[in-house]
Amino acid sequence: MGGPPMSDGAFARWLADRAGQALLGLRAEMGFADAGALKSAGDKVSHDLIRTELARWRPADAVLSEEDEGSRLAWAAEVSADAVSRLTADRVWIIDPLDGTREFSEEGRADWAVHVALWARDATTSHGLIAGAVGLPAQHRVLGTDLPPAAPSMRPETAGGAQRVRLAASRSRPPVFLTDLAAEVGAQLVPMGSAGAKIAAVVTGEVDAYIHAGGQYEWDSAAPVAVATATGLHASRIDGSALKYNEADPRLPDLLVCRKDLASRLLAALQRHCG
């Protein structure tokens, strides 16, 4: 029996795909009658699988996973063994075993994802991420930095003028300022679950941008941001500053991911609405 792919990018893809297949199997086995039970089982099955494979194939690396006990704590407050090791480690896997847990539990929805990213101390990128994969099991695809998709091109303008910007946002917790911002820039809001699914939709050109504010953690965006930047997209905080990963405090409450040609226009609008 062969082992998993050796390069970190191909390994991230392999892991995201394996976890995604397990999650599809769980949906088929449990059905949708008990959403709470399906969500809990999904988080656990995917986390356990990824944790086990990382321990087996990358034993020297540290891990930050949404589903680890104490993962949301800032390191300075209450120190768990994992929090200490990841802050001194040279390589840290940042994992969201099931992003869009709510959508995973709703029959027919495909906007949920598995996130596997690798942060490295000696990375030359501003975010520090050197590999990542976003599994979209119900869409039967995995996007990864090992084979980054081509950057989406600008859409042709209509005869009557510029196309409306399609702006993805949370279905359940969109930023309070977003309706006003969308009206100002003439954007159409596209509600969608999962940060990974929304960033994947920007990568594939199904939408033009994703804006989030009001709360999120590093694992919600690490893997999809690694793929987005490998593809040549803009990814930053909503004030334009760099996204940083493997910080002592894992909260990373806001971000903008979009085509590069839209970045200055959207950052200027963000400055007016929440600067």
Which residues are near ligand A3P by CB under 6 A? 66, 96, 99-101, 170, 172-173, 193-195, 214-216, 220
Asked whether the beta carbons of 234 and 263 are under 8 A apart, the reply is yes
By beta-carbon proximity to ligand A3P, the closer residue of 120 and 238 is 238
CB of 253 to ligand A3P, least distance (A): 7
The option from Mg ion, ligand A3P, none interacting with 194 (CB < 5 to 8 A, set by class) reads ligand A3P
CB of 116 to ligand A3P, least distance (A): 13
In whole angstroms, what is the distance from residue 204 CA to residue 229 CA? 13
By beta-carbon proximity to ligand A3P, the closer residue of 70 and 215 is 215
Please work out, in degrees rounded to the nearest 5, the angle formed at the alpha carbon of residue 175 by the alpha carbons of 172 and 180. 120
In whole angstroms, what is the distance from residue 97 CA to residue 51 CA? 9
According to CB under 5 A, which one of 8, 17, 82, 99 is a site residue for Mg ion? Answer: 99
CA 184 to chain centre: 27
Asked whether the beta carbons of 216 and 255 are under 8 A apart, the reply is yes
According to CB under 5 A, which one of 82, 96, 103, 218 is a site residue for Mg ion? Answer: 96
Q: Does 218 bind Mg ion (CB under 5 A)?
A: no
- What are the structure tokens assigned to 216, written together? 């999120």
Position closest to Mg ion via CB:
99
By beta-carbon proximity to ligand A3P, the closer residue of 153 and 172 is 172
Q: Environment class of residue 36 by beta-carbon count within 10 Å: exposed (0-12), middle (13-18) or buried (19+)? A: exposed
